[in-house]
A and B are shown apart, each in its own frame.
Chain A
Amino acid sequence: MDINILTFFEENMYVFLLFIPFIGQLGIPSGSIFFLLFAGSLSSDWRTLCILGIIGTISAILGDATGYLLGKRFFQINIIQKQLKKENIQKIYTDTCAYFKKEGKFAIFITRFLVVTPAPYLNYIIGLQKFDFAIFMRLVVIGEILYVGELLLLGFIFKDTFEYLTSIISYLGIILVVLYCMYLLGKVIFKPIQTTDV
């Protein structure tokens, strides 16, 4: 059976957009960026674009919320609770909780639409950290509107060349993540040596 997935997507675009962003936000590779760009390129007018935007955004938000709730549920499993009682793991958990309390809002927001690669995994960690759900959802809603909107719009504008945008956007996300990791490492490695006067 020779199924052309692209033709199938073209014919069932609305249904696909109900599921693909949702699955993508759970961390399952679903080609979410590609299909959103493709959907944008297939849109013939602003009305279609808006409808696709609403469907895609709702799907992505539900995916994020599910990831968060799964992370939170995972925290309650007995094995995890036992592990958290160990001193070294307890310290890592407390440190990351403090980190996310300080930087979490920015991290959640920026991973929705700019550095999209770690977004699904961050949802689980955020849930595990028991980050405030209301704040999480507010940031997610704004971020996903921007994410789905930007991809659909890019696909709509660059109908003939959108193929290249999937890897461009993915590379951009990876580059920013690597730069951020280097920044964190750099703060430790290149920390000025403090000298004390005798």
Chain B
Amino acid sequence: MNAKQLKMLRIIFIVLLILLVFFIYNFTKKVRRFDESNEYFRQPIGSQKVELWMTPHQIKRVYHIDIERILGKKIGPFSMENPLSDYCNKNKGLDCESLLIQLNSLKNGH
């Protein structure tokens, strides 16, 4: 193997290392989010509140709220991981605070 080929391989190695750091960072972020969610949902349901970090599907499943009707859109499989905050940030007509108040009152109504 000549010096030029070895240099190319070293560059590829460094690129892979950067990618590895990026993927590990994202992986640990996801694992932490997963762990925190599990921890939160283990609490008695009476002490839980609808939070902005929750996904619409979690809100629908755990608190039996028709979240799609409230948000005015269907939640597809590729956006299931998006937190509630994404939906009230993207739509300017949907205020996050009043959305939370509405969802928590619906939750307490069950």
Please list the residues of chain A having a beta carbon within 8 angstroms of any beta carbon in chain B: 2, 4-6, 9, 31, 34-35, 38, 158-161, 163-168, 171-172, 174-175, 178-179, 181-182, 185-186, 188-189
Interchain residue pairs with CB less than 8 A apart (13): A5-B76, A6-B75, A31-B78, A34-B77, A34-B80, A158-B34, A163-B81, A164-B81, A165-B34, A178-B16, A178-B19, A178-B20, A178-B23
The answer for the CA separation of A160 and B64 in the assembled complex, in Å, is 12
* Interface bracket on B: 20 to 34
**Majority secondary structure, A binding face:** helix
B77–A6 touching, CB < 8 Å: yes
B33–A164 touching, CB < 8 Å: yes
Please list the residues of chain B having a beta carbon within 8 angstroms of any beta carbon in chain A: 1, 6, 9-10, 12-13, 16-17, 19-20, 23-24, 26-27, 30-31, 33-34, 37-38, 41, 55, 57-58, 61-62, 68, 74-78, 80-81
Inter-chain contacts of B77 with A (CB < 8 A): 5-6, 9, 31, 34-35, 38
**Majority secondary structure, B binding face:** helix
Among A38, A168, A186, chain B packs the most CB atoms within 10 A around the CB of A168
